[in-house]
Amino acid sequence: MEAEVIRAGKIAAEVLEYGAVLIKLGANALSVIDKTELEIKRLNAKPAFPVQIAINNIAAHCIPEKEIVFHEDDVVKLDVGVQVNGWIGDNARTIVFNNENKKIAEAAEKALESALKIIKPGIELGEIGGVIEQVIAGYGFKSVKNLSGHLLERYEQHAGLTIPNFDNKDRTKLEDGMLVAIEPFATNGVGLIEERKDSGIFKVVNIKNVRDNNARELLRFIINEYNALPFSRRWLLGKFPEFKVSFGLRLLKREGVLHEYSQLWEKGSGLVSQAEHTVLVKDPIIITTRKI
């Protein structure tokens, strides 16, 4: 397990750096996503979830439309996950193009670095969140309170345990051998996100029989290809006709087989930055997504 965890993290780190280089003024966001996902496959791994690019006040769960290009004032979050035999490396960073936005990007990065310094078996979750919140506040921003880091398990990106981005007084302790994503978000808004429009990103949440043959065929493919990990509508369009994809996803969602993630927007329309690493909890810890 550990070798696969470390390999997934190493590839995720390489791919995050590759994708970040592609994010330039005037570049097409969807093209960056396509190239970044192809790089994962070139390195003989699979995406743990669709590569996502969230811009400005959108915090997460976003695959931009084709016509979106990057502008000078944009705060761009690139989120990349890689899986090797179901074990996940999950990392993210913020890219900015002007000096005005450097501070908000740095707030999330420094909060992440500070949190990583205190992580060890036995540390309480609220203590980690308190450090993240304190660093972000020191930059003059707010920590996004209803976004968090998370436990990673095989074929499960969000495995129940959450690592807060503020001191929520949670005295649950990290245990030796846990695989966790530490994921600070900083904002100049109100510090909360809300769900908005559908993202086109789905996950199987309840396997059951469905009567429609097309939907049943689509579900078989989804389970075989992605297991319980998130996938995108765009991936299916490369395998099936658009009508079958649209109809099948709509039916499977209505039947409660699939969950579709909503885009997450900052409630006060503030800019949002993000930083993330995956950590194998040991003494000392192994930051699997840190590029050596």
- Domain 2-188+269-287 fold is Creatine Amidinohydrolase (3.90.230)
Dig out the tokens for 268 from the structure.
Answer: 């006060």
85 Ramachandran zone, left/alpha/beta (phi>0; psi -120 to 50) = left
Dig out the tokens for 172 from the structure.
Answer: 């649950």
**pLDDT exceeding 90 applies to what percent of the chain?**
95
Residue 292: which pLDDT band, with cuts at 50, 70 and 90? low
Residue 150: per-residue pLDDT: 97
Q: What does 46-58 look like in DSSP terms, one character per residue?
A: EESS--EEEETTE
Residue 217: which pLDDT band, with cuts at 50, 70 and 90? very high
Q: Coil, helix or strand for 250?
A: helix
At 177-204, the pLDDT tens digits run 999 999 999 999 999 999 999 999 999 9
- Domain 196-263 fold is Arc Repressor Mutant, subunit A (1.10.10)
**Is residue 12 pLDDT above 70, yes or no?**
yes
At 67-76, the pLDDT tens digits run 899 999 999 9
For the chain, the structural domain boundaries read 2-188+269-287, 196-263
- Distance (Å, whole) CA 212 – CA 249: 12
For residues 40 and 17, the answer to whether their CB atoms sit within 8 Å is no
Q: Coil, helix or strand for 222?
A: helix
Residue 291: per-residue pLDDT: 79
| Single-letter code of the amino acid located at 23 | I
pTM: 0.96
Residues recognised as catalytic = 79, 90, 150, 158, 183, 276
